[in-house]
Amino acid sequence: MLEIAQLSKTYESPGRSVEAIRSLTFDVAAGELVCVVGPSGCGKTTLLRAVAGLLPASGGEVRLDGVPVTGPPPRMAVVFQEYGRSLFPWMTVWQNVELPLKEKKVPAPRRRELVTQSLESVGLGDAARAHPWQLSGGMQQRVAIARAVAYEPQVMLMDEPFAAVDAQTRADLEDLILRLWRDLEVTTLFVTHDIDEAVYLGQRVIVLSSSPTVVMEDLKIDLPPERDQLGTRSLPRFGELRGHVYSRIQAARG
Amino acid sequence: MKAVRLLGLPVLLVLLWWAVSGGSFYLPSPDRVAVAFAETWFSDRLTGDVLPSVGRLLAGYALAALLGGWLGVPIGLSPRLRATLEPVLEFFRAIPPPVLVPLIMLLAGIDTPMKVLVIVSGCVWPVLLNTVEGVRALDEVLADTCRMYGIRGWPRVRGFVLRGASPQIMAGLRQALSIGIILMVISEMFASSSGLGFTIVLFQRQFQIAEMWSGILLLGLLGLGLSLLFRRLERWVLSWYYGSGAARA
Amino acid sequence: MRRLLHGLLGLTGLLALLEAAPRLGLVDARFLPPASEILRTLAGELTTAGLWLALGETMRGWAVGLALASGLAVAAGVVIGVVPGLRAATSSTVEFLRPIPSVALVPLATLLFGPSLGSTLLLVVYASFWQVLIQVLYGVAAVDPVAHDTARSYGLSAWSRVRHLVWPTSLPYVMTGLRLAAAVAFILAVTAELVIGSPGLGAEIQVAQSSGAVPTVYALIVVAGLIGIGVNTAVRLLERRVLAWHPAVREEVAG
């Protein structure tokens, strides 16, 4: 479905070049939820932007259904970390969710249906007429998620979407993502710096080295498919996996 | 209490005006100016001089706003175009707009087109440069969001570029408004036979002092009225901006 | 470096356009002389004493007017800002007087002073006074209430509070006001000369225009633009210098 092959990125500026990503190869099967975790400053955001087609790679390629990605693919949605800056402040919640659908020329009745459903599914059915800045951070990120969901993407990319919300909100949003992923069967690539979050959410966790980045490990998470905040996190296996990823990242920092 | 705060000083100042104006040639008393105001401006001067002046101001201002926005968006979006044109634009902005009046008289005569052109030539720069600045500083995450969701072309300009730059564009429009009023008056002080600026200078030349003061008062009221109108427009256009607290940050 | 190159390219392009348009007959050369002729006239003008005298007059009106307006505005702003209740009492008057376009005072200036420096000063002072005053008021309002309470609880006198608390806090705002006022003052100085005929650059332009010396009109406008750039740059440098110690070289306050 989504293949990343020998992807590399070097930032060139006059008299200086910085190798951010040396070479990354992994793939994400259809309907899979894969988490990418790595030490801070390891080029996670660079990777995600390259996958999204927002940033041209220096070498290698990203393929979606076998087609190389050269610009943002039509059926891909991104949820950015900076929720406060990814929503249009001059539009209401409803308009924010509806805008990409208008651009896709979705007919009005279907549009209404999609926006209503997606807002309901993130628990914001009542907030449609509010402006983003009237909502809390967690609610704003829900709007961004609803916008991605309404877009009916094949692939959903998430760039540390919960890095800037408080712990309780974060747990709620993690379960929201799991539920949406299961209901919609959408292929998801979730980038985070939080090891717990990666292990809790992912079917697989890709551990990255520090920059210049390579894949250190592609780890299958053999936890039961049904996850819940209390039960899953207290399983001995969860602790083992977390400890394993943690030690790999520590080694990467080395 | 609020009324005292609001009106206390103005009433005091008018009383002071009354006190010092006794017998002064240059400063007629407030009641004489008030009478002159009513007699002068609630007459066919309103339709013959005042309204045409305001009409020209609004026409020139609107043209300048359209032109400034229309040119500012592409310049702001293209770094290369911006680097090329910036010194030229800075130069044009630095020219005090009134010195263009004699020049534009050469090119466009002394009738309405000249006056409107004068207003456009002065108002366009603040709008243009502020638009460029606003477009340049658009949020990158929002720009990425547009790319991701395939928002491009005119919907992108209307829904993202213009709205995102609107705080700066409005700041430019506010500067342009005060320049526009100045140019409206000045363009009528040169080789003109009608209009607000012409009439006020005429009163001064004929030593109709109370009428002259009433004209100054009218210009003040016009300036005040337009600035209040503009503030309402700004509150409306930028409600999201004030609401989101971005204005304070 | 690249930016500089692009900028030069832009300026060259403008000159080339101004040269080509009249030469190719696209516009009437009587109304828009070729760039080379404008520059030649400009070079000629720069060697005459008349232009320099006129420039001196303009800059004198600008500088004296700006200094007067700033001094008055800072004094008034600090008093209004510091004395309790004064701000509320004056705000309606300030809001009324501020939008009065200063050119409305042209007839009054003509009547009182005729074509002289006095007219220039009246217009310049009126226009720039409000720019500075509004910023000073913002500045005084920005004094941290906790700092203010601290100063009071340590028994600092009113004068010390102004000197050590209010003034340093409002200085960046004062500089912003000064920068805005400097540009406005230059516009009004030239306007007074142009319309009333007070000696200076504006009057020279008016004379050149009425005598049909078109290239001279253009040359003088170029001079006006260059002075305008000079004024902006000078004030910006001053601002940076005065505020070098300041932790936050402030963003402009919307006003």
Both A115 and A225 in one domain: the answer is no
Distance CA C114, CA B88 (A): 36
Confidence of residue B245 (pLDDT cuts 50, 70, 90): low
SS3 B11: helix
Both A123 and A198 in one domain: the answer is no
Of B149, B155, B166, which has the smallest distance from its Cβ to A151's Cβ?
Answer: B149
Tell me: the pLDDT tens digits for A8-33?
999 888 888 888 899 999 999 999 99
Segment 169-188 of chain B within 8 Å of chain C by CB: 171, 178, 181-182, 185-186
Both A175 and A235 in one domain: the answer is yes
Distance CA B18, CA B35 (A): 14
Q: What is the arithmetic mean of pLDDT over A33-55?
A: 89
**Residues of B with Cβ-Cβ distance to A85 under 8 angstroms:** 139, 141-142
Looking at CA atoms only, how far is residue B131 from chain C in angstroms? 15
Q: What does the domain layout of chain B look like in residue ranges?
A: 48-241
Whether the Cβ atoms of residue C154 and residue C196 lie closer than 8 Å to each other: no
Of B149, B166, B246, which has the smallest distance from its Cβ to A100's Cβ?
Answer: B149
Does some domain include residue C236?
Answer: yes
Question: Which domain CATH number covers A164?
Answer: 3.40.50.300
Q: What is the arithmetic mean of pLDDT over A103-115?
A: 93
Does some domain include residue A229?
Answer: yes
CA distances from C63 to A28, C69, C174, C188, C220 (A): 70, 10, 17, 12, 20
Does some domain include residue C24?
Answer: no
Whether the Cβ atoms of residue A238 and residue A230 lie closer than 8 Å to each other: no
Structural domain boundaries enclosing A102: 86-152
Both A220 and A146 in one domain: the answer is no
Does some domain include residue C20?
Answer: no
Decide if C7 and B86 are in contact by the 8 Å CB cutoff: yes
Does some domain include residue A81?
Answer: no
Question: Which domain CATH number covers C189?
Answer: 1.10.3720.10
Strands lying side by side in the sheet with A33-37 = A67-68, A59-64, A2-13, A16-28, A213-220, A204-208, A33-37, A187-192, A155-159, A76-79
- Is a pLDDT exceeding 90 seen at residue A144? yes
How many structural domains does chain C have?
1
Confidence of residue A211 (pLDDT cuts 50, 70, 90): confident
pLDDT confidence of residue A207? 93
pLDDT confidence of residue C125? 95
pLDDT confidence of residue B249? 41
Both A97 and A182 in one domain: the answer is no
Does some domain include residue C120?
Answer: yes
Tell me: the pLDDT tens digits for B115-174?
899 999 999 999 999 999 999 989 889 999 999 998 888 989 988 999 999 999 999 999
Confidence of residue B248 (pLDDT cuts 50, 70, 90): very low
- Is a pLDDT exceeding 90 seen at residue C62? yes
Q: Which chains touch C (3 or more CB pairs under 8 A)?
A: B
Tell me: the pLDDT tens digits for C177-191?
998 899 899 999 999
Does some domain include residue C249?
Answer: no
Both A166 and A186 in one domain: the answer is yes
What is the DSSP code (8-state) at residue C116?
Answer: S
Decide if A89 and B241 are in contact by the 8 Å CB cutoff: yes
Of B95, B96, B226, which has the smallest distance from its Cβ to C191's Cβ?
Answer: B96
pLDDT confidence of residue A199? 94
Does some domain include residue C15?
Answer: no
- Is a pLDDT exceeding 60 seen at residue A150? yes
Confidence of residue A165 (pLDDT cuts 50, 70, 90): confident
Tell me: the pLDDT tens digits for C221-249?
999 999 999 998 998 888 888 887 665 44
How many structural domains does chain A have?
2
pLDDT confidence of residue C246? 64
pLDDT confidence of residue A51? 93
**Residues of B with Cβ-Cβ distance to A151 under 8 angstroms:** 149
Q: Which of C86, C108, C179, C218 to mutate to test the interface with B (most CBs of B within 10 A)?
A: C108
* CATH code, B48-241: 1.10.3720.10
pLDDT confidence of residue A254? 62
* B249 to chain C: closest CA residue: C251
- Is a pLDDT exceeding 60 seen at residue B247? no
- Is a pLDDT exceeding 80 seen at residue B207? yes
Tell me: the pLDDT tens digits for B18-71?
888 777 777 888 888 888 888 888 888 888 888 989 999 999 999 999 999 999
Looking at CA atoms only, how far is residue B134 from chain A in angstroms? 15
- Is a pLDDT exceeding 70 seen at residue C253? no
Tell me: the pLDDT tens digits for C78-113?
888 878 788 888 888 888 888 888 888 888 888 888
* A90 to chain B: closest CA residue: B240
More confident residue, A40 or A36: A36
Distance CA C51, CA A24 (A): 69
The dihedrals phi and psi of A48, each to the nearest 5 degrees, come to: -65, -40
Q: What is the arithmetic mean of pLDDT over C210-223?
A: 89
Structural domain boundaries enclosing C71: 35-242
Residue ending a domain, among A107, A127, A152, is A152
Decide if B97 and C217 are in contact by the 8 Å CB cutoff: no
* B190 to chain C: closest CA residue: C195
Interacting residues of A155 by C-beta distance below 8 A, sequence separation 6+:
A1, A2, A28, A64, A73, A75, A76, A77, A186, A187, A188, A189
**Residues of B with Cβ-Cβ distance to A104 under 8 angstroms:** 150
